Amino acid sequence: MFNIFQIIGALGLLLISAGVLRKKRTFQDELYILGGICLEVYSIYIGDLLFMALQAIFVLAALTDFLKAKKNI
């Protein structure tokens, strides 16, 4: 049986996958940010420090890209 953290992790994977398929940059970044946050929560749950660091960097990069894109609109 799945627990809530596994569901959050799976949701993160789906959101990032959907972001890859999107053409609109800001919407893509929003999906990356939300998916990255979900995977960050999951990485904290499983206690994987490498995964936590990776997700933190991924979310910060996506957030930076999102803010730059919004500024240029």
For the stretch 10-63, pLDDT in tens is 999 999 999 999 888 888 999 999 999 999 999 999 999 999 999 999 999 999
Contact 15, 35 (CB under 8 A): yes
Position 39 scores a pLDDT of: 97
Output the pLDDT for position 25.
Answer: 82
- pLDDT value for 73: 63
Q: What sign has the CA pseudo-torsion 44, 50, 53, 57?
A: negative
pLDDT of residue 2: 80
Q: Which residues contact 9 (CB under 8 A, 6 or more apart)?
A: 38, 39, 41, 42, 45
